[in-house]
Structure 1
Amino acid sequence: MGDGFPFLFFLLTIGWHKQQRSLGVIWGMLAFCSLASAQPDSTFSLPQVQVLAPAARTQPVGARVERLDSAQLAWHASENAAEVLIRRSGFYVRNYGLGSLATTSARGGSSAQTAVVWNGLPLQSPMLGQLDFALLPAFFSDDMAVQYGTSTAAWGSGAVGGALLLNNTSNWKPGLSVSTRTGAGSFGWRQTSSALRYGRMRWASSTRLFIESAQNDFLYRPAPTLPYQRQTNARLQQHAVLQEFFFRARPHGATLALRSWWQNAFRQIPPTMTQQRSEAEQGDAAWRTALHWRKLGQRGVWEIRVAHFEESIRYRDPLLRQDTRSVFRTQMGEAETTLRIGRRWRHQMGLTYVRTQAQTPAYGREARQWRAALFSSWMWQKDCWKAQIDARAEQMDGHWVPFIPGLGVECQLNNHWQLHARAARHYRAPTLNDRFWRPGGNPDLRPENGWSQEIGTNYRQEKGAWRCNLSLTAFQRRIYDWILWARQSGQPFFSPQNIAEVWSRGAESRSEAQYTASWGLVQWAIGYDYTRSTHERPVVNPRIEEGSQLFYVPKHRIFGEILGQWRRLQLTIFYQHTGAVTGLNERVPAFNLTSARAQYVWQGRTFQVGVFGQIENVWNTPYFVVERRPMPGRHFRVGSHFRLQ
């Protein structure tokens, strides 16, 4: 680790002067645990590839994780993360309209209880505690993973209901590769994305460009007896560039990755069905730069990450004479190591430091916040058993947040059946808006906290040309001190209070099957989620009854797809059913949607050419995801892609 020590020393000294005593206590506690537990065992030897892939955070024992690799993501290259999650995951996406704001609910949680992690770094806004998934191009990810359940010990505040992990991989293959994709569709939708990659023995480069625009002027019916209206003030434009450089001193030595992600989006906000017109618009700008050093060894892997994120939102509404701009800047540093200890144990340990500055007119002055944490995971394996113990100790602005332990267990009963279980504590810190917004901000808020448990089973069978996978998971989670903006007696404005308690429980089932033949393949998959997420305390204003389902959390959700491939032709049908939800003002009815896609690909020795056509909302179903925000009827997309290598 000698050549990486200067990076580690720099990371450990960031912001040390006032927090050194607290960090020293945390480091001492976890270091003592490491020394006390590091006893070698001699039953079997873990393959080196397991050591080189530190999975304690990305693939925790006992948790359910669904992955999409680069080949699967290629099908969704013209979509954003929200559209991918709708088709491929159990996350419920609350979409405000075509191209508009999109947030998620995982296992009955709020939109601020889903973490988004980009190459090990959290992307959620510290002001809002959430991220707009409509502004995450799937084209910018090489690997996408959906973690279900609590992972606060791994990722910190916000990873309560689940986490979306976005990863980029280095490609050291020598030579040049070029790819481009273009698309056009209904309502003025246009999109272009291109990638240029060049690699040599010791360095590589990757450049990705993404451009999208749309008018989103679709027709909708406010009510079955009323005539159609055309949506207005709904234009979308966005541009994004992701630049990556990779360096290594020798083929199997330490690697250094430098990434820079620039994005600019402009969106008009259409009127709701109760508004005559709207002139509101919003501009989102983001610049994310990260440096990632990684060294592989015979007994482990060392990693260091430093990053600077800067994002801004400008909201304008000439009708209300509003023009506000919000800005935040975040600096992050993280050092972690994963070591093999004996033949049964693997230990992952790391230190994280995050510093944030944010400013908006409603704060009055600049808001600042710092967080420092140590996390530790012990993984043990013997025969058919695996176990993992997690711990996280963290301070925020000099105050301790709840200590976060976790425990996961897996048992491979035979070649087909596996059992898994996990229990963990979780927390979510108040956002900067919760603490500093005027009027109403409450600097004395406590973090949301509680416990979650899950248990499940997986079945896998392969026989001849057939392959099938089945899984069933049950979960439950209690959250205390839930932060809710409410109006207190005699108070003219809303303010956040720790006044709610929420109990989430449910079940998730998945089934997949595939038949492969000489002419191609057929595969199908279906998922069903039942989620009951209820308030356990009544609230006066807004009026919430005890036992009532949370706003915008459906009890039932079904999603599935059927894919057929014959030679160069692929046909896919997607289906989703979303149950009724309770909105802030009215009930949003259940809906069923079907979409279809066809793709034809020509493959040459050094090139690939493909064309695709897609139909969304095949049956032209009128529906709403958010109350008073209409969604489009049947619409189309066509496009082509070209790749040269």
Structure 2
Amino acid sequence: MKKTIGLLIAVCCSVVSFAQTQLDSVHYLDVIELSDIKLKQNAAGFKVTVLNDSVLNKNTSNFTDLLRFNSNIYFKENGYGMVSSPSFRGTNASQTAVIWNGININSQLNGQTDFNTINTNNINQVVIRNGGGSVQYGSGAIGGSVHLDNRLSFTKHLKNDVKLNYGSFESKNISLVTDYGQDEFAFNLGVNFIDSDNDYKYLDSDKINENGAFNNLSLNVNLGYFISEKDVIKLYHQSFIGEREFSGTTATPSKSKYEDENSRSMLEWVSTHQNYKSNFKVACLKEYFEFYQNKNSEFFTFGQVNTFLAKHNFNYKLSKQLSVTSILDYNLFKGEGSSFGNPERSIFSATGLLQYNPSTNLNLGFNVRQDVTSDFTSPLLFSMDALIGITENYKIKINASKNYRVPTFNDLFWQPGGNLDLVPELSYQFDLGHVLDFNWLKLQLNTYYIKSQDLIQWKPNISGFWSPQNIAEAHSYGAEVGLTISKKVNNHQFRLSSNYSYTVSENLETNKQLIYVPFHKANATLAYSFKRFSAHYQQLFNGDVFTTSDNLKGPFYSLQSYNVANLGVNYKVLQHSNHELELGLKVNNLFNKLYQNVAFRPMPNRNFNIQLHYKF
């Protein structure tokens, strides 16, 4: 591991040094080019939230905390830095899609993405899309989708970004990102290393978080080259190597360890013409893990999946108001593991998107998708959305969709207990949004309803083994409110951003709220800046959650609501056109509150993080 880290850092330093010799000036650019065209052109009727550089820079911890404090998503985290699972509008982790530069990267083993294996220092932009997206993004996009995008800017520039972090519990974070571009060629490269003893204190007890240490290394490399005036070739690569000791609960200690390696490589050819645009992608993805019940033992279980993907998007403008898009997508999955053998799956999908913009105040979309899957029958999917401009400052967003989730390799083939008779989960939903937008204020209100059937649940069978079954039906409904206020008075800049969600998610067989779905969740960030000084205060409220399906209350059946606050201050020690050095201090869990988001797994006490951030 140490040799790998040293080699990668040496490569990065060499790249930075080479790039510096090629340029006489530095240009800081704000041009953003998304690899995911559908997110930009076919989401007019959906709630879409963009977390840009200013928000990402306030996050000195992990991806889970970034979304926890800046979105409506609720997270279950098995202790800080451990497995992190999202709950989006009352759905579960396998019903939230994670999209990397336009392709779905959810695990084929358990159907979800562990948000603590994603590093935001190597991502230029995070976009959250509320509502069903299975037509555009395939299996799992039921509650919503989280999009991770990398930026390539074909303008003469060089930017380097170095972050050094040190914090409580011997936590260290080193990040290096370099971005270079000319008229025909662009690349960016990012390396990030995190290491932490993670031995925080359990408040109101004499215990600490034992066996919780973790470290990981991530690498991002992205290249782009114009082979002609209308054609550009792009290469995206991401690697992650991690090792975590899985901490136990307050009652049960643990000695387990988990090692995982994930890699994603994608080649993209974009051809842009006057009336049409063609986008062709080929990708290879690998996920691999080893689990040690005893970290001191050489015995482990393992699992891996190799994914091969080919995807073609073709967008044609029939007129200024009307455009159509076809998407052909082929995926081949090959798995191997200690508990599920050697499964394979292939999926071919055909998608049609129609976008109609008769005026600046009306945007309509209608989309259909059909999958052909090797091991079960897939449903025909559809979605419709509309953006209606009532006035210059008031808009209405409407969308409706049919979505699905296919059974994972674990669901089908896990031994003992896998069930080959499972069928895909289905979901129907409707969303109505109101947007009030002024120069200094933006207010969003969304109400929604989701009806799901054939939900996959693991339950004990007659042999005593746990086995998945299509048994449950559920519905979710609620409201989401988002408010952003930005005001500048002379050199004083103020910004308030906040989110609130009310969620009812019930099992229709029992009329009980689903576990780990809070009725109420809210967060707010107040940011202030004056010349070289800036500060921000974050507040998070999570309501009570049930931890058992019968909705009993008490310390063994539910988790109490909690309020958690963070405070950060930054000062730019050096500020020139070519160089900028900033020193930051952040206090997490400012008021030292005892809280849990998974039963019997306390989160950290008050802790500190110091950051040195150098741009040149």
Q: TM-score, normalised by structure 1?
A: 0.86
Asked whether the 8 Å contact 1:434–1:441 carries over to 2, the reply is yes
For residue 377 of structure 2, the aligned residue among 387, 400, 416 is 400
Name the counterpart of 2:9: none
Instruction: Note closer, same or farther for the CA distance 1:150–1:175 as it changes in structure 2 (3 Å cut).
Output: closer
The 1:86/1:579 distance shift into structure 2, 3 A limit, reads same
Q: State the shift of 1:586 in Å.
A: 2.3
Q: Deviations over 1:334-379 (max 9, x none)?
A: 000122111210112110111101111111x301001110111111
**Which of these residues, 163, 171, 196, is aligned with residue 214 of structure 1?**
196
1:59, distance to aligned residue in structure 2 (A):
4.9
- Structure 2 residue aligned with 1:75: 58
1:88 paired with 2:65, answer no
Q: Structure 1 residues 141 and 358, CA, compared in 2 at 3 Å: closer, same or farther? A: same
Tell me how far apart the structure 1 counterparts of residues 323 and 34 of structure 2 sit (CA, whole Å).
Answer: 8
Describe the superposition over 1:169-202 as per-residue Cα deviations: whole angstroms up to 9, x where unpaired.
1122335432211000001100000012333332
Q: Is the 8 A contact 2:135 2:403 kept in 1?
A: yes
AA aligned opposite 1:306: V
Q: List runs of 5+ in structure 2 lacking aligned partners.
A: 1-31, 549-555
Cα distance in 1 between the residues matched to 2:476 and 2:41 = 24
Of stretches 375-384 and 66-75 in structure 1, the one that deviates more from structure 2 is: 66-75
Aligned to 1:520: 492
Q: Distance in 1 between matches of 2:223 and 2:93?
A: 33
Match status 1:620 vs 2:592 = yes
Which residue of the partner structure matches residue 318 of structure 1? 294
Aligned residues of 1:59 and 1:65 also touching (Cα < 8 A): no
Where do 1:132-171 residues align within 5 Å? 132-171=114-153
Q: Secondary structure at the match of 1:272?
A: coil
Instruction: Give the CA deviation at 1:58.
Output: 6.3
How many Å apart are 1:278 and its aligned residue? 1.7
Residue of structure 1 aligned with 2:567, choices 574, 591, 596: 596
Equivalent positions of 1:496-575 (< 5 A) are 496-537=468-509, 546-575=510-539
Whether 1:459 aligns to 2:436 is yes
Q: Give the counterpart of 2:220 among 242, 246, 269.
A: 242
Answer whether contact 2:275 2:316 (CA < 8 A) is retained: yes
The CA distance in 1 between the partners of 2:279 and 2:497, in whole Å, is 37
Q: Does the 8 Å CA contact 2:516/2:545 hold for their aligned counterparts?
A: yes
Note if 1:116 corresponds to 2:88: no
Identity %: 22
Alpha carbons of structure 1 residues 52 and 333: separation in structure 2 relative to 1, 3 Å: closer
**Aligned counterpart in structure 2 of residue 306 of structure 1, from 273, 278, 282:** 282
Task: Output the amino acid matched with 2:443.
Answer: L
In 2, Cα distance between equivalents of 1:549 and 1:521: 42
What's the CA shift for 1:56?
A: 5.8
In structure 1, C-alpha distance between the alignment counterparts of 2:34 and 2:498, rounded to whole Å: 34
Deviations 1:244-264 (A, max 9, x none): 2211124x4311111221210
**What do residues 312-341 of structure 1 show as CA deviations (whole Å, max 9, x unaligned)?**
111101289761011110011100012211
Give the conservation status (yes or no) of the 8 Å contact 2:257–2:294: no
Distance 1:558 1:510 in 2: 10
Is the 8 Å Cα contact of residues 33 and 151 (structure 2) preserved in structure 1? no
1:198 is aligned to 180
Quote how far apart the aligned CAs of 1:146 are. Answer: 0.2
Distance 1:261 1:52, change over 3 A: closer
**SS in structure 1 at match of 2:338:** coil
Distance 1:177 1:379 in 2: 37
1:237 Cα deviation after fit: 0.8
Task: Check if 1:257 corresponds to 2:234.
Answer: yes
* Corresponding position of 1:267: 244
SS where residue 85 of structure 1 aligns? helix
Counterpart-to-counterpart distance in 1, 2:608 and 2:62: 16
Question: Relative to structure 1, is the Cα distance of residues 198 and 386 closer, same or farther in structure 2, using a 3 angstrom cutoff?
Answer: closer
Q: 1:75 to 1:52 in 2, by over 3 A?
A: closer
| Structure-1 residue corresponding to 2:5 | none
Among candidates 569, 577, 581, match of residue 605 of structure 1? 577
The 8 Å contact of residues 329 and 358 in structure 1, kept in 2 or not, is answered as: yes
1:521–1:493 Cα change, 3 Å: same
After TM superposition, give the deviation of residue 51 of structure 1 in Å: 13
Decide whether aligned partners of structure 1 residues 550 and 614 sit closer, same or farther in structure 2, where only a CA change above 3 A counts: same
CA deviation string 1:2-31 (max 9, x = no partner): xxxxxxxxxxxxxxxxxxxxxxxxxxxxxx
User: By how many angstroms is 1:398 displaced?
Assistant: 6.0
1:230 corresponds, among 208, 215, 240, to 208
| Paired residue type of 1:638 | I
Native 8 Å contact 2:34 2:149 kept in 1:
no
Partner amino acid for 2:227? A
Contact 1:580 1:588 in 2 (8 A): yes
Cα distance per residue 1:103-133 (max 9 Å; x no partner): 1010000110000000011111001000110
One-letter amino acid matched to 2:536: T
Deviation per CA, 1:80-108: give whole Å up to 9, x if none. Answer: 32121111111111111111111101000
> In structure 1, what is the equivalent of residue 459 of structure 2?
486
Question: How far apart, in 1, do the equivalents of 2:33 and 2:527 lie?
Answer: 32
Which 4+ stretches in 1 moved above 6 angstroms? 49-53
1:79 CA displacement: 3.5
Find the aligned partners of 2:188 and 2:250 in 1 and give their Cα distance: 44
Partner SS, residue 474 of structure 1: strand
- Label 1:51 to 1:278 Cα distance change in 2 as closer, same or farther (>3 A): closer
What amino acid maps onto 1:146 in structure 2? I
Counterpart-to-counterpart distance in 2, 1:619 and 1:486: 40
2:342 to 366, 370, 388: 366
Which consecutive unaligned segments of at least 5 residues does structure 1 have?
1-48, 538-545
How far residue 492 of structure 1 moved from its aligned partner, in angstroms, is 1.2
Task: For 1:246 and 1:642, locate their aligned partners in 2 and report how far apart those are by CA, in whole Å.
Answer: 26
Give the CA deviation at 1:50. Answer: 12
Amino acid at match of 2:51: L
* 3-state SS in 2 of match to 1:302: strand
CA distance in 2, matches of 1:426, 1:63: 15
Question: What SS does structure 1 have at the residue aligned with 2:597?
Answer: strand
Match of 1:440 in 2: 417
Residues 1:355 and 2:332 are matched in the alignment: yes
What amino acid does structure 1 have at the position aligned with 2:160? V
Establish whether residue 381 from structure 1 lines up as the match of residue 357 from structure 2: yes
SS in 2 for 1:442: coil
8 Å Cα contact 2:222-2:236 kept in structure 1: yes
> C-alpha deviations, 1:185-241, integer Å up to 9, x for none?
0011000000123333322222211000000111114xx5xx421221111111111
Task: Verify the 8 A CA contact 1:441 1:496 in the aligned structure 2.
Answer: yes
State the number of aligned residues.
575
Q: Within 1, Cα distance between the matches of 2:34 and 2:473? A: 40
> Does the 8 Å contact 1:52/1:296 carry over to 2?
no
Q: CA deviation at 1:503?
A: 0.6
Whether the aligned pair in 1 keeps the contact of 2:34 and 2:151 (CA below 8 Å) is no
Alpha-carbon deviations, 1:245-288, whole Å to 9, x = none?
211124x431111122121000001121111x321010011111
Structure 1 residues 175 and 379, CA, compared in 2 at 3 Å: closer, same or farther? closer
Structure 1 CA distance for aligned equivalents of residues 41 and 66 of structure 2? 19
The secondary structure found in structure 1 opposite 2:274 is coil
Contact kept in structure 2, 1:115 and 1:162, CA below 8 Å: yes
Find out whether 1:421 has 2:398 as its counterpart.
yes
